[in-house]
Amino acid sequence: MRQLSPLELRAWLDDTARVPPVLLDVREEWELERCRIDGAIWIPMRDVPRRMEELNPKAELVVICHHGVRSYHVARLLEHEGFSSVYNLATGVDGWARQVDPTMQTY
């Protein structure tokens, strides 16, 4: 599993020559209500083991949480289950708000 900074993710999303990654937000619903990265799908961390069949194991997948800890654990699980291209958003949505989108609410 690779670590991806918010600035690297922004560059990837802006690069029209690359296929955009699947963004998987694993935070709790109350967190998602405060802020989110547009286009992310939501599966809470606790539900990932029983819902991972909803994800394409061959897609490039960026896992997102608040600071990058829960997403790190989910990314490791997905790799263990055979997902071939998994990234952890280091510093999570907090880092995204601070480095990419200063209008995003933080908590």
Domains in the chain, CATH or no CATH each: 2-99 (3.40.250.10)
What percentage of the chain exceeds 90 in pLDDT?
99
What would the pLDDT profile of 59-81 be if each residue is shown by its tens digit?
999 999 999 999 999 999 999 99
Please calculate the CA angle 53-87-99 and round it to the nearest 5 degrees: 130
In the set 24, 65, 74, 75, the catalytic residue is: 65
In sequence order, the β-bridge partners of residue 24 are 41, 63
Does the predicted TM-score (pTM) go above 0.95?
Answer: yes
Residue 100 pLDDT level (bands cut at 50, 70, 90): very high
| Contact call for residues 60 and 24 (beta carbons, < 8 A) | no
* Annotation says 65 is catalytic: yes
C-alpha span between 99 and 67 (Å, rounded): 13
